[in-house]
Amino acid sequence: MFNGSGVAIITPFKGGKVDLEAFGKLIDFQLENDTQALVVLGTTGEASTQNYEEREAVIKTAVAKANKKVPVIIGTGSNDTEAAIKYTKQAETLGADGVLLVTPYYNKCTQKGLIQHYTKIAKSTSLPAILYNVPGRTGVNIDPQTVAELAKVDNIIGIKEASGNMTQILEIKRLVSEEFKIWSGNDDNILPIYSCGGHGVISVLANVVPKETQAMCKAFETGDVKEAIRLQVAYKKFISLLFVEVNPIPTKAALSVMGYIDNELRLPLTTMEEVNMNKLVDEMKRLLIV
């Protein structure tokens, strides 16, 4: 699929509707600044508040704008296996290059349930499928042994790991083949996961500084570890501010300051508190982002 920085891109809204014009400009911004993949309709893309028709418009826009320059990976996960299959088939029909499948949330499930859930979705499509482990949001963790079992399914090709548990990630690396990809799901863990044998990041940070995020990845991949560390450390405070409120609240605030989008979210998400907004803008100024 890709190595390096894939952006978990936001979905802009305007007047309650998806702003496809702004979305297209965001994709141009990513393509012009070395992002290696577009990850659309994930957590950062507020997929849970978009209906089937809105998803179709967003996917069509992403596929057309990317124009095969980089892979377009669509978040099609759900806590309803049949709904996930429906979204996955939609993504495949509309020309996506892969799908990202979050663990079932709220109803949760056992490890046995995870294996059956993911296997059934993967077998419904010819697209490459990426597991997405984010227990802080979903309340369920994909155990390393479960990842190893799912890696036997032909088109399950990797995992986005946002547990922050390096011991677990090392164990996954030990159990899977060299071809199975591991991407960081946390921007402050890019280099730690690379050092565990990972392949890059599916990044929130890249929404705002795509060139620098990919530069960090490229530096590590080419052996310039000192430069990779410099960039990871330089953006550490900014990364923390991007998560000081629930993602993507701060990211949308930052992009609105940059003039790319209206600062609009869908309930239950609300705009950033003024005190946090001021801290975010101050750090953006310090980093010369604005």
The annotation places the binding site for pyruvate at: 44, 202
Amino acid at 144: P
Question: CA angle, corner 195, sides to 192 and 196, nearest 5?
Answer: 90
CA distance 125 to 272: 38
Residue-level length of the chain? 290
Q: How far is CA 66 from CA 37, 70, 100, 210, 276, in A?
A: 9, 6, 17, 15, 33
CA distance 42 to 49: 11
CA distance 261 to 230: 30
Give burial (CB, 10 Å; 0-12/13-18/19+) of 16.
Answer: exposed
Place of tokens 């996955």: 88
* Binding-site annotation, residues: 44, 202
Q: Which residues are catalytic?
A: 132, 160
CA distance 91 to 161: 22
